[in-house]
Amino acid sequence: RSKAKAEREASPADLPIDPNEPTYCLCSQVSYGEMIGCDNDECPIEWFHFSCVGLGHKPKGRWYCPRCRGESEKTMDKALEKSKRERACSR
């Protein structure tokens, strides 16, 4: 097996990681492959790997990560919506 082929086939966890490179997603790994951003401006994670959140393609419209959405995959958790509104009113 050639070194180049081994590097191409390596998973993100196998690749050398710059300790200063930011991590994302529920898996706390670096950016790789297709990623999607949570539409909650207050999301602490922001970016997610498609495979980690069960996506095969970019969904239409807004998308909220598992931590920010409530029962529905398309709505933000009511507590987060309320805190966001309260912060907006206190400005």
Residue ranges of the binding site for Zn(2+): 25, 27, 38, 43, 49, 52, 65, 68
CA distance 1 to 19: 28
Helices (H), the chain: 3-9, 78-89
Residue 51 corresponds to which tokens in the numbers above?
């495979």
- DSSP, collapsed to helix, strand or coil, labels residue 89 as helix
Binding-site residue numbers are 25, 27, 38, 43, 49, 52, 65, 68
Question: Is the four-CA dihedral 18, 22, 28, 30 of positive or negative sign?
Answer: negative
